[in-house]
Structure 1
Amino acid sequence: MAEPVRLTLATGVEETAVDQTHDLLQELWEQVPDVGDLDRIRVETAVAEIIGNIVRHTRRLDAPGSDSRRVQVSVWCSPDEVGAEFVDNGLPAAIDLSDVTMPDLDAESGRGLALALAAVDQLDYERSSGRNLWRLSCRRGGA
């Protein structure tokens, strides 16, 4: 792969966004077939957890009657890295990623961000220009 590949999806924040994001990753793997299985699994795990959290937990900041919740998902692959970025128009996420830990075994929820953090080399969240920005990356061939 000589040139980085970047694919982007803009969609509503609803359950179909999860499948659309999965399809976007599958398209990336088709365009960059030399990405190893372990790297694919790591990125797919983190991407599934982040888009799932956005769909389940994002609430609107704008007044009722305004445009619906939206998310833009970008996935990319370079010779050194595979990653994803999510930008949504919801309320700020009240999260400090440095405080995220795996919940107790009997907990029924709360594993998503912990799994995402464990899967990839970098996971960041910030609030910028009235949007939530999640960015994750994985060094290719790394574990």
Structure 2
Amino acid sequence: MPELLAQGHVRGPAAPHIVDAVQDELSRVWEQALVISLSDRMPFELAVVEVVTNAVRHAKPAIDEVELDLEVEVHRDLLLARLFELGAQPADIPESAGTMPSPDSEMGRGLALARQLLTTITCERRDDANVWTLTRSADGKA
């Protein structure tokens, strides 16, 4: 894998305030990886925030509460995020999640938007967690 330019980490309850913490951490990460262009940073950040927000709204606890653990890696040619929904029930992703809903719909855009902004997005079950892996190929030029 290419040289690691920056990395970030946020962990906390699946509650609305974690979205702000994720945005703050991504701002810090971008300060360490200035060679990544805005045209790569902005779509990646928007996709990460959408997936985190989706987890806050939709992850259901298996027992107590869901905790989110986000890891971010920035390489010259690859942006990578892994979101662990710890203690969550298996994700129930509707088949329509990859397509934009009708313009008058009030929900259902988050995952569809993330799919459009990323190179890959996957969700798999590992032990007691749903693990989202998000990647975006980057041009490596500011």
Task: Report the TM-score, using the length of structure 1 for normalisation.
Answer: 0.88
Aligned letter for 2:130?
Answer: N
State the partner residue of 2:125.
Answer: 127
Between the aligned partners of 1:135 and 1:98, the Cα distance in structure 2 is 19
CA, structure 1 residues 7+30, in 2 after alignment: closer, same or farther (shift >3 Å)?
same
Query: 1:75-122 CA distances to partner (integer Å, 9 max, x unpaired)?
Result: 110121012110012111111678621111111110110000000101
Aligned letter for 1:81?
Answer: L
Within 5 Å, which residues of 2 pair with 1:92-131? 92-95=90-93, 100-131=98-129
> Once the two structures are aligned, what percentage of the paired residues are identical?
31
How far off is 1:2 after superposition? 4.5
Moved more, 112-121 or 96-105: 96-105
How far off is 1:4 after superposition? 3.9
Q: Is residue 24–residue 75 contact of structure 1 (8 Å, CA) maintained in 2?
A: no
Q: Are 1:38 and 2:39 matched, yes or no?
A: yes
Between the aligned partners of 2:122 and 2:94, the Cα distance in structure 1 is 10
State the partner residue of 2:68.
Answer: 71
Between the aligned partners of 1:28 and 1:10, the Cα distance in structure 2 is 15
Task: Report the TM-score, using the length of structure 2 for normalisation.
Answer: 0.89
Query: 1:56-84 CA distances to partner (integer Å, 9 max, x unpaired)?
Result: 1111101xxxx532110011101210121
**TM-align CA RMSD:** 2.0
State the partner residue of 1:87.
Answer: 84
Q: Is residue 97–residue 124 contact of structure 1 (8 Å, CA) maintained in 2?
A: no
Between the aligned partners of 2:134 and 2:62, the Cα distance in structure 1 is 24
Aligned letter for 1:126?
Answer: E
Q: Is residue 125–residue 135 contact of structure 1 (8 Å, CA) maintained in 2?
A: yes
Q: Is residue 76–residue 83 contact of structure 1 (8 Å, CA) maintained in 2?
A: yes
Between the aligned partners of 1:41 and 1:60, the Cα distance in structure 2 is 31
Aligned residues: 138
Between the aligned partners of 1:99 and 1:51, the Cα distance in structure 2 is 15
SS of residue in 2 equivalent to 1:114: helix
Between the aligned partners of 1:86 and 1:98, the Cα distance in structure 2 is 21
Name which of 107, 119, 136 aligns with 1:138.
136
**Unpaired runs of 5+ in structure 2?**
none
